């Protein structure tokens, strides 16, 4: 018996058919029945959650967010989980947004802009003087007399130097009370000079005493030194609105007018430059640069007490 005959005899009718190789190589053909079983399993499998194909429309036409959907916090256009309307959505993971009403400008914190002559290296006293006093309207007689004396001292000192010795000036001139300074005698002046307490030269010191006497006369004539000073500007501060420091003048025609009247009344050391410095520091003129934060603040200051204190004492 040949070998082929032996193989045919060995094959039994009920045996399994051999695996047939497909045309593309050793890829096993899967029966149609197995395919149908797989497809039926896929169809019967339920997803763990229902995902919408498109994201929800949020705040469309100024409407609030619908309670039936919540957006993913990581990306606006990502898939959205559908939530039952009875279930309350917690805003976990959502960024809080500050709503600014219409017409209200948002304030962005930044460095304070001052006048150009105030720099980062300026004396703290000088900076505080600029931020709190310079350009603020003053209507108190004693304070006006003080500022006039300090403006006279600018001929020999700078503002930072004057401010550093301000307490000494106040002690020297009895807290700038004109009625007290007017009583200074030659002996008093000499004692101040010998003790080395005075910061001004002898002519300036004598001018302060004489100006105190003339201030008392103005108070009798005009009711107060404040009424006299503010009458030159119609009782309203002059708002110059300079943009650059080079535009701020050393003197003005108005200062020259006041200077002439003061000298005519017997005041000494009150030239136009001294008078204009006095007008600036006493607020008769607002010479803060328009870019400085104090320009608008000085313009908007509301004075509760319009009457000078000297009149209240009478």
User: What does the domain layout of the chain look like in residue ranges?
Assistant: 138-306
> What φ, ψ does residue 151 adopt, rounded to 5°?
-70, -35
pTM over 0.95: no
Any known ligand binding at 69? no
Average pLDDT over residues 130-145: 95
Any known ligand binding at 288? yes
Between 164 and 307, the higher pLDDT residue: 164
Average pLDDT over residues 184-191: 85
Give the long-range contacts of residues 51-57, CB within 8 A, separation 24 or more: 51/79, 51/80, 51/81, 51/82, 52/79, 52/80, 52/82, 55/79, 55/80, 56/80
Any known ligand binding at 56? no
Residue 22 confidence (pLDDT) above 90: no
Q: What is the pLDDT of residue 102?
A: 53
Average pLDDT over residues 182-210: 82
C-alpha–C-alpha distance, residues 254 and 242, integer Å: 17
Q: What is the pLDDT of residue 111?
A: 75
Between 294 and 74, the higher pLDDT residue: 294
For the chain, the average pLDDT equals 74
Rounded (5°) CA angle 134-140-143:
55
Average pLDDT over residues 91-106: 47
Q: What percent of the chain has pLDDT over 90?
A: 49
Any known ligand binding at 7? no
C-alpha–C-alpha distance, residues 112 and 204, integer Å: 37
Indicate the class that CATH gives domain 138-306.
mainly alpha
């Amino acid at each position: 018996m040949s070998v082929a005959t032996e193989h045919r005899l060995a094959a039994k009718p009920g045996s399994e058919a051999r695996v047939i190789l497909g045309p593309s190589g050793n890829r096993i053909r899967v029966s149609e029945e197995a395919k149908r079983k797989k497809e039926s399993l896929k169809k019967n499998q339920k997803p763990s959650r229902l995902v919408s194909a498109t994201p929800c429309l949020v705040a469309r036409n100024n409407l609030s967010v619908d309670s039936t959907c919540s957006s993913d916090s990581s990306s606006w256009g990502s898939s959205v989980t559908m939530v039952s309307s009875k279930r309350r959505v917690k805003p976990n993971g959502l960024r809080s947004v500050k709503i600014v009403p219409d017409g209200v400008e948002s304030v962005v914190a930044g460095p304070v802009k001052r006048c150009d002559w105030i720099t980062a290296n300026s004396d703290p006293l000088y900076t505080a003087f600029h931020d709190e006093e310079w350009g603020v309207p003053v209507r108190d007689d004693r304070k006006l007399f003080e500022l006039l004396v300090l403006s006279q001292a600018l001929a020999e000192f700078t503002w930072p130097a004057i401010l550093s010795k301000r307490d000494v000036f106040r002690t020297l001139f009895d807290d700038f009370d004109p009625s007290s300074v007017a009583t200074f005698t030659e002996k008093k002046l000499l004692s101040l000079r010998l003790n080395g307490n005075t910061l001004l030269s002898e002519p300036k010191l004598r001018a302060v005493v004489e100006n105190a006497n003339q201030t008392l006369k103005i108070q009798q004539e005009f009711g107060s030194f404040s009424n006299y000073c503010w009458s030159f500007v119609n009782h309203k501060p002059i708002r110059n609105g300079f943009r650059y420091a080079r535009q701020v003048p050393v003197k003005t025609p108005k200062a020259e007018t006041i200077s002439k009247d003061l000298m005519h009344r017997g005041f000494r050391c009150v030239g136009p430059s001294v008078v204009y410095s006095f007008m600036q520091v006493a607020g008769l003129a607002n010479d803060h640069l328009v870019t400085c934060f104090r320009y608008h603040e000085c313009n908007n200051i509301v004075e509760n007490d319009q009457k000078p204190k000297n009149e209240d004492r009478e």
